[in-house]
Structure 1
């Protein structure tokens, strides 16, 4: 009878029994049916294996059907399934690993398994390995080969799915472990959040301290080496012990290629690189766990420094240049270190990075920045010099090494721009600055110079990039002007704006205007409270005042579109959606701001860095907004900081990936990740929670406002222009230098007319008044009175066009009169030719100050102070 049962089970196994069992079990999991049903299904599967004596054919069928059921092994182990315990004792793990560790066998076995099912199979194999660590110790080398084979097939599926998906424009499906998946996947795949979390728990063994140590213990050593390792384990940790064997001698280029110990260490880093490439949604968890491994980061850093000066820059570039495929195991080690540094640069707050200097010192960060900057620059140069048949841009975009290093470089530069840890000259590449052909090459769309400017613009000084921006804008203006006839342009670009309804008139007149109209000259005529046109011809001065007044009203928090942070910076208000047409208003304000930068009009507004950051198109930049919360929501910042440094069990705080907010008196729950209200926060993922919550508060709540504002801004300012600047530099483009006016610079670039000269008594009184009597705010008002802007030009007063001019005014003359020879000579040698009642006036469109020839310095002080504070529009002049 037993023989008959055995034969019958084997017969069923050959006729899709396991496939039927798989479908039944997944349906049970979908419907959350009783565990006894799942138990019975598992019993049939195990009996088939036992009765077949672990026949290879049935093991493969078992792998293709049962092991792709998510958390199958964990469910059997936790339920103390007797047959499961029996087959474990009969070496199920060994039988499976013997098949999986052979690449050709596993490729054939997994031919019809999709990537999601492969990920579930990986979880089950890991769970099986973690049940008996002694058995794993005996099979650790084949198990490592098994892991590599599974990850390689997953990566191959991932790549082929992405390529076929792009060609067929196939939609992607998001999975909480591997992210977006293109291509065909099994209809029976389980995506229940609770089950997915159990799969993730299976994976965690792979980055646990015990497994990481096991990997380093598996590195082969000589007999004498074993003795030293034994001693080292008592004194320090396993990771450091293995690395220290390399530090006794210099790591040469040849040693990087041939040394067995070096290759073994690189193989471990290759494994973790593959793991974070496949399990994309678990990237932060993996990096967080690895960063906590004893001495891993410091050992990797010491390893790089041991290669040569500047982290082995010369040696690594030599390997890259001689390797046409751009692959070498040492680059996996470099990439893993870069990924760990990216994680640290993202999650370390200013206290940890600058004061405590956790993980790496500031000097180490600075030194590594120097390496990254030079290495990325050389990589671009190398590819542009040697790539002939394919586009060097395309090759670099598909180069994982380049993408990883470039991403970290930009992230660290961004972090440094917020709070510096390197010298100002640290990022510059001097050979670019001294290259006579660089500027000429910028004219060609496919040039190396243009690509360098797009990818690593910080290698040039800020002033050089501003000059390049102005060159690009001038070329753009010439192109736009050539497409519009003068008559048509004049008739369409003249607008009357009532001062009593300035913002409303501006919005109605310009919101629907084309980009061509925005980029050409716009003429404004102000209508005063009496309904009369104000005196003054708009030669850009009136338009500058128009731009400044519109932005002043738009960014006023009372207008309900923007709010102010604790450090007095502006960002879109989360409740601005209650304003009618709010998205169109944000789009319009973005265009106004873009026009200001396009025309080099500086504005007195400071935007929040987390808002400005979204203007800059940085792909895959994992910037953390945690520090920005300090000024946006101090209570939330303090709470998250408490969670970050909490030594107890975070799960006891009963936090979920959701947030409750008061909306019109009603509490509404928002998920900060899909199904977040059902996912508890634990110690393992609290850093992920902090990051997600920070993103929600600084971006997700206002993403629609940011999107419309950014689109409006980019109507005039092309994305590639914006990308040349960091966030603080972009703020400088908008508002100029926030420091006090440089009077020495202003003095050096003044044009005098009407008899005035630098030694004239009235001019001396003017400078004395500005330096000694005026406050910083009054100096800003003085500059605004003459130029319509309270801030100095970005490149100094030398760049002001027309130049800042001071003209002498006599009581008997009309302002429109020119400079006669007699008048000039008379004013050069005399004072007190002007009525003491007359006020200074200005023509902002010409940056012209009309200063009467006063009798005393006291009169000049009183009249000038009154004039700059009068706020009488253009009718004062």
Structure 2
């Protein structure tokens, strides 16, 4: 606020009282009269008369009244300064400013009398007077008062900017006044929008700014920020500080560079994230300011900043803090910022951060929360968190072959900035930090406390570390490079206590869900064991996680369910009958299933009937002939991408299949179907790793894209555009049980971008093309089908429970992973009917099975249980138990099995027997006396269809008829 006229009169009165007065000084009498009684008009006329001739102003200084002249000049300076402050656009403002420029020039006033120190201190005295009368407040207001449309023509503006920098050529850099002036310049001048600082005068202005002395502001930064509370002012301060300091990067001292980066960091931390989203136009920022804010995260600026910081290795702590804040302040820039940093020339920032800071960092060694949160580690956090962000980003575009190329691959070079040994060390540090932060009993500090040395809450640091360790673990899961048990934290926790606590926390969360609906982030954070299981599950052994999963499900089963449902299905039409009769049924409730055989008779409705139902159901619905699912070369299933599969009827089938698969998992049955890795990632809600995931779907397309990615030639020579060929529509929409007939359509294509057929793939845009092709094949084509399947699956099992597993673990949970058959465990949990474990036949049986390789053992397991995979948690979980039954003394019979009971039985070697089918099925394992005979008969049975009840009864009935 400028002083009023009355305030000015008071000010002038005080000035008269302040200065001595000598009426006998004839040579300055005119000036004295002007100071004593002048009005604005007379003052302006005097300034106009002398402004362009410094000699007219300074001539009296050399006369006998030089001392009086000096005192009058100090008073005159204040008078014309207040005139400028009150009327910055008056006709005399420019003249006043020119007079002040002369008086504030040490070169001119100091040369008036070499032997007279009075003259050499005049500029300093006037500067002190102006500072006492709010120089920077009034100059800032004067600049802002000039209409924006008049800026380019304003003669006052360059003079005002010169006045703002004049103290730095007059005051001693070590003086308190110098530091205060620099602080006030940032508060009142550099918070002005950049477009109000004319470009013609910016060069002179920036050359007069003492930016090389920024280090003197190290203690004043909080005050500067607090004095500029408006977001617009802080935006302007960032833009101006960056604009004027960037040209000096190569010459700034270490201390000045550190303070500069710290200043920008503190400014960005003081602005909320939402405020920095410039696209939302929340604030009226001028175009020049917006342009500077955008270019801060540009490649040119980051490159020059990285080069400057290399001169002072220890400045990278400040650089890391700055880059972290820059990425956090505007999330829409974060990915581009990280990609730009990874691509900056002049070195490898990932390597430098790891080798110079993180490798020797104490973080991640001592796993106690107290040690981790020690304030003395403040300088260690920015490099580690920036490295976590950068390495996570680098893995998004790094293929597995680029991550760790094989020796035979001469086309693909390594893009991994860290060696595998370095990654082992780095990932262990990250795992220990993440585990400590997720496991803390009191999560209040994690939610509210801040990381020392950086404006980031602990939960933000935990997120960065967790994302990076997850990404590294995922690579290791696909192509292992870490030692055995590298990812486990067994030594840091008591497993049994962990399990019990996790089950208790899950029960608490379910209670909160029932009482108040969806859980808040704060409520979820109150469960540290669940935090570990949901975010770094690989830190806990997979068998422990599966046992926890089963405990969760058991607790859910204990809740009240609607009554038992009854389902009757016909063999050969099991899927369709189930689809027609289970709509609207509580799928979690018990279902009594009756299977009708081909003769119209009820099959055995034993405890194992759901296994038999589910095995037949999967055989029908996952058959490629049915058209809902396809298989890759590894016979892994994924939804059919053809458009007919997105029709409503097909989506209902996907939803129903998801319900039945969920029911099987819920009740602990093995799901023998193997799903493709990219589909399992969708199952778990993980972001697709586009190029690597494509390999499991279409190896030929994957190889072609890899070749394109590393092709040294110009891709334009291949005549490829931004389209992808799609298969033709089916001839007719068939019933679900019929095979499909397709019409190939070579000319049918899909545009990957608007007008993609007219956009050529070039060297510059090929990565975009590769990502779009991969995304279309992996995601877009099966989006609706996948969503329908998961909707049905999650109707049975809460998605929270699946967070404990990655895609490899899901295969184990489903029972589709090929775990070795543990004969010691199998024998321990085997029961006998008519035998005991000391009999020669049983001893020979186990000796024979012990000679089997894993494939033969799996064949035996499939023969008995309908599943080739052993129970994950051991054969104690096989219900009913594996049982070997006595079947008489005739060694001519082959072993057979009733799969509903998991009993190893026998059937006749020859069908020439006048017995009924039912009585034949009751025949059991003969008492083989010869080990070689037992081996031959057992292998013959498990490798033929005669041991299967369904095929056996069919074959026998045909023989009898």
Q: Could you state the TM-score of these two structures normalised by the residue count of structure 1?
A: 0.69
Spell out, residue by residue over 1:469-525, the C-alpha distance to the aligned partner (whole angstroms, 9 max, x if none).
Answer: 22222121112xxx23xxx623xx111112343222222322433xxx322322211
Maintained 8 Å contact 2:399/2:692? yes
Distance 1:638 1:122 in 2: 47
Distance 2:632 2:950 in 1: 28
Aligned equivalent of 2:351: 298
Q: Secondary structure at the match of 2:674?
A: coil
- Alignment equivalent of 1:429, drawn from 475, 489, 495: 489
Aligned equivalent of 1:211: 305
Q: Secondary structure at the match of 1:158?
A: coil
Alignment of 1:602-621 (within 5 A): 602-617=670-685
Spell out, residue by residue over 1:102-127, the C-alpha distance to the aligned partner (whole angstroms, 9 max, x if none).
Answer: 67667766826499xx59x9789867
1:704 and 2:784 matched: yes
The alpha-carbon distance between structure 1 residues 456 and 397, as it changes in their structure 2 partners (threshold 3 A), is: farther
Aligned equivalent of 1:361: 419
Spell out, residue by residue over 1:537-586, the C-alpha distance to the aligned partner (whole angstroms, 9 max, x if none).
Answer: 142x2211221222232222333322323433222222254444333322
Distance 1:213 1:631 in 2: 42
1:347 and 2:347 matched: no
Distance 1:141 1:688 in 2: 42
Which has the higher mean CA deviation after the structures are superposed, 367-376 or 153-162? 153-162
The alpha-carbon distance between structure 1 residues 98 and 328, as it changes in their structure 2 partners (threshold 3 A), is: same
Alignment of 1:837-848 (within 5 A): 840-845=896-901, 847=903
Aligned equivalent of 2:467: 407
Maintained 8 Å contact 1:587/1:711? yes
**Structure with the larger RCO, 1 or 2 (CA within 8 Å, 6+ apart):** 1
Maintained 8 Å contact 1:626/1:637? yes
Larger radius of gyration: 2
Aligned equivalent of 2:640: 573
Aligned equivalent of 2:553: 473
- Alignment equivalent of 2:500, drawn from 440, 446, 449: 440
Distance 2:445 2:304 in 1: 48
Distance 2:222 2:715 in 1: 41
1:853 and 2:917 matched: no
- Alignment equivalent of 2:153, drawn from 47, 57, 60: 47
Aligned equivalent of 2:662: 594
Spell out, residue by residue over 1:808-851, the C-alpha distance to the aligned partner (whole angstroms, 9 max, x if none).
Answer: 235xxxxxxxxxxxxxxxxxxxx22x8x5787341524555452
Aligned equivalent of 1:457: 537
- Alignment equivalent of 2:887, drawn from 809, 825, 835: 809
Q: Secondary structure at the match of 1:751?
A: strand
Distance 2:947 2:347 in 1: 64
Maintained 8 Å contact 2:690/2:775? yes
Distance 2:797 2:759 in 1: 42
The alpha-carbon distance between structure 1 residues 373 and 777, as it changes in their structure 2 partners (threshold 3 A), is: closer
Aligned equivalent of 2:35: none
Aligned equivalent of 1:641: 706
Alignment of 1:760-775 (within 5 A): 760-761=840-841, 763=842
Give the gaps of 5 or more residues in structure 1. 22-43, 74-82, 163-174, 220-241, 243-260, 811-830
Maintained 8 Å contact 1:59/1:96? no
Q: Secondary structure at the match of 2:660?
A: helix
Q: Could you state the TM-score of these two structures normalised by the residue count of structure 2?
A: 0.63
Maintained 8 Å contact 1:839/1:867? no
1:564 and 2:631 matched: yes
- Give the CA deviation at 1:594: 1.6
1:546 and 2:665 matched: no
1:333 and 2:413 matched: no
- Give the CA deviation at 1:759: 3.5
Count of residues paired in the alignment: 721
Distance 2:590 2:459 in 1: 44
Aligned equivalent of 1:497: 569
The alpha-carbon distance between structure 1 residues 587 and 683, as it changes in their structure 2 partners (threshold 3 A), is: same
The alpha-carbon distance between structure 1 residues 809 and 405, as it changes in their structure 2 partners (threshold 3 A), is: same
Alignment of 1:747-762 (within 5 A): 747-755=827-835, 757=837, 759-761=839-841
Spell out, residue by residue over 1:34-59, the C-alpha distance to the aligned partner (whole angstroms, 9 max, x if none).
Answer: xxxxxxxxxx6533487554557999
Aligned equivalent of 2:99: none
- Give the CA deviation at 1:647: 6.2
Maintained 8 Å contact 2:677/2:696? no
Maintained 8 Å contact 2:897/2:905? yes
Distance 2:368 2:388 in 1: 15
Maintained 8 Å contact 1:380/1:396? no
The alpha-carbon distance between structure 1 residues 92 and 127, as it changes in their structure 2 partners (threshold 3 A), is: closer
Distance 1:443 1:425 in 2: 24
Give the gaps of 5 or more residues in structure 2. 1-47, 49-86, 95-140, 165-184, 406-413, 506-525, 729-746, 907-923, 957-961
The alpha-carbon distance between structure 1 residues 461 and 543, as it changes in their structure 2 partners (threshold 3 A), is: same
Distance 1:502 1:422 in 2: 46
The alpha-carbon distance between structure 1 residues 433 and 48, as it changes in their structure 2 partners (threshold 3 A), is: same
Maintained 8 Å contact 1:785/1:844? no
Distance 1:769 1:96 in 2: 89
- Give the CA deviation at 1:769: 7.2
The alpha-carbon distance between structure 1 residues 791 and 871, as it changes in their structure 2 partners (threshold 3 A), is: farther
Maintained 8 Å contact 1:525/1:533? no
Q: Secondary structure at the match of 1:359?
A: coil
Distance 2:820 2:710 in 1: 41
The alpha-carbon distance between structure 1 residues 844 and 694, as it changes in their structure 2 partners (threshold 3 A), is: same
Distance 2:830 2:901 in 1: 16
The alpha-carbon distance between structure 1 residues 613 and 498, as it changes in their structure 2 partners (threshold 3 A), is: same
- Give the CA deviation at 1:197: 11
- Alignment equivalent of 1:522, drawn from 571, 591, 595: 591
Distance 2:360 2:374 in 1: 17
Q: Secondary structure at the match of 2:464?
A: helix
- Alignment equivalent of 1:716, drawn from 788, 793, 796: 796
Q: Secondary structure at the match of 1:628?
A: helix
The alpha-carbon distance between structure 1 residues 652 and 96, as it changes in their structure 2 partners (threshold 3 A), is: farther
The alpha-carbon distance between structure 1 residues 265 and 316, as it changes in their structure 2 partners (threshold 3 A), is: farther
- Give the CA deviation at 1:268: 0.8
1:668 and 2:774 matched: no
The alpha-carbon distance between structure 1 residues 431 and 300, as it changes in their structure 2 partners (threshold 3 A), is: same
The alpha-carbon distance between structure 1 residues 399 and 368, as it changes in their structure 2 partners (threshold 3 A), is: same
- Give the CA deviation at 1:661: 4.8
Maintained 8 Å contact 2:448/2:457? no
- Give the CA deviation at 1:731: 0.9
Alignment of 1:679-698 (within 5 A): 690=770, 694-698=774-778
- Give the CA deviation at 1:153: 4.9
- Give the CA deviation at 1:644: 4.2
Q: Secondary structure at the match of 2:594?
A: strand
